């Protein structure tokens, strides 16, 4: 029988995969993909807890996460386009504006 912890562990593994993507990739677009993976991992955990405890609050949070993800994509892609127009690349190693 599949228990709550199965889903939670799956969510944890997916989240870790997202972290690997965040650390490993230098392309900004790939970073966005990795972020989506992490958000979805959280969603799975929310939905699973919601289902196993009989509380709809978890699903509500999943909805809001999806809303946030959608806005993030909208704004984030807009920014990516601006960056690409300005620098002609999306490689993180080229951006060192924060260096003091």
Partner 1 sequence: MEGLVYTALFAPLAGSLFAALFGMRPKTLLTGVVTSLLLLVSFIASTALLWHVMHVGPVHVKLMDWIVAGDMSIPFGFNVDQVTAVMMTVVTLVSTVVHIYSNGYMEHDKGFNRFFSYLSAFVFSMLVLVMSDNFLGLFIGWEGVGVCSWLLIGFWYHKPDVTRDENPSISPSWAANEAFIMNRIADLGMLIGIFLIYWNVGSLQYDAVFAAVPHLSHALLVAIGVFLFIGAMGKSAQFPLHTWLADAMEGPTPVSALIHAATMVTAGVYLVIRAHPLYSAVPGVGYFVAVVGTFVAIFAASMALVNRDLKRIIAYSTLSQLGYMFAAAGLGAYWVALFHLAAHAFFKALLFLGAGNVMHAMHDELDIFKMGGLKKVMKWTYIYMGVASLALAGIWPFAGFYSKDTILEVAFNEHTYGIWFVLWLTAGLTAFYSFRLVFLAFWSDERYKCYGFHPHEVQRYVLWAMFPLGLLAVIFGWYKEEFVDFVTGLLPAYEVSEHTHHMLPILVTVTLAIAIGGIVVAYVMYHKRLKRSEKVEASLPYRILYNQYYIPILYEKVFAKPYAELSDIAWKEIDLQVVDATVDGIAKVVEESGDATRRMQSGNLSDYLKWMAGGAIALAILAVIVVANG
Partner 2 sequence: METFAFYLFSILIAGLFLVTVLSRNVLYAMTSLAAGMVLISGLFFILGADFLGVVQLIVYVGAVMALYAFGMMFFDATGVVKERNTPALLVFLLGGLSAVMLVVIFAAPAIGSHVTPSFRTPQGVDNPHAVGLVLFTKYLVPFEVAAVMLLVAMIAGIILAGKKMDTSLSKISDGEESQAAGKEER
* Positions 66 through 95 that interact with partner 2 (CB under 8 A): 66-75, 77-82, 84, 90-91, 93
DSSP 98: T
Structure tokens at 29: 């677009």
Cβ neighbours, 10 Å, residue 92 = 13
Residues 1-40 that bind partner 2 (CB under 8 A): 1-2, 4-21, 23-27, 29-30, 32-34, 36-37, 40
For the bound state, the minimum distance from the C-beta of residue 54 to partner 1, rounded and expressed in Å, comes to 25
C-alpha to C-alpha distance for 71 and 96, rounded to whole angstroms: 26
For the bound state, the minimum distance from the C-beta of residue 100 to partner 2, rounded and expressed in Å, comes to 23
């Amino acid at each position: 029988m599949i228990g709550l912890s199965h889903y939670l562990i799956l969510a944890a593994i997916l989240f870790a995969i997202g972290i690997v993507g965040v650390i490993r990739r230098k392309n900004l677009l790939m970073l966005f993909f990795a972020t989506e993976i992490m958000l979805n991992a959280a969603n799975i955990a929310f939905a699973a807890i919601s289902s196993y405890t009989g509380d709809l609050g978890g699903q509500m949070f999943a909805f809001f996460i999806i809303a946030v993800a959608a806005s993030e994509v909208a704004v984030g892609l807009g920014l990516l386009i601006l960056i690409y127009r300005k620098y002609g690349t999306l490689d993180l190693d080229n951006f060192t504006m924060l260096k003091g």
